[in-house]
Amino acid sequence: MKRICVIDGQGGGIGSAIIKRLTAAVGGRMEIVALGTNAIATAQMLKARANRGASGENAIVCTVPTADIIIGPVSIIMTNAMMGELTPAMARAVATSPARKLLLPLSQENVEIVGLAQAPLPHLIDALIDDNLKTILE
């Protein structure tokens, strides 16, 4: 069974929205692991029906090498993002993981990804699942 790790921080709202759509799309065909930079983010993603969850730097560093797919906002590969919650070790672990990374162009940091049209989170999640994840699953 493939393992999808969804990573989020702060309040876990982005990760929760992703997991709700993921569970509807892939059901029990994949293991969905919620990885929060803090316990609140993890708890919110578990409420969204992730199969398992863990919080903090060590959990992320130890789990992402075992993932088949990593999903989250682009800030999960940026050191000190999410108001400092994303540590250098977390960013390095995600960036160097052999897993396929599907990153949403959302950031509260002073970073803009040039060439992308602005879209609301629900539309980005639909594109993530319909355009990217389904091709990986087939």
Q: Is the pLDDT of residue 108 over 80?
A: no
Helix axes 39-47, 13-26, angle to 10 degrees: 30
Per-residue pLDDT, 118: 83
Which is it for the CA torsion 23, 71, 107, 39, positive or negative? positive
- In angstroms, the Cα distances linking 46 to 105, 122, 133 are 23, 19, 21
8-state DSSP, 116: P
What domain count does the chain have?
1
Domain that holds residue 119: 2-137
C-alpha 11: how far from chain center:
13
0.85 cut: is pTM over it?
yes
Could you tell me the CATH number of the domain that includes residue 52? 3.40.50.1220
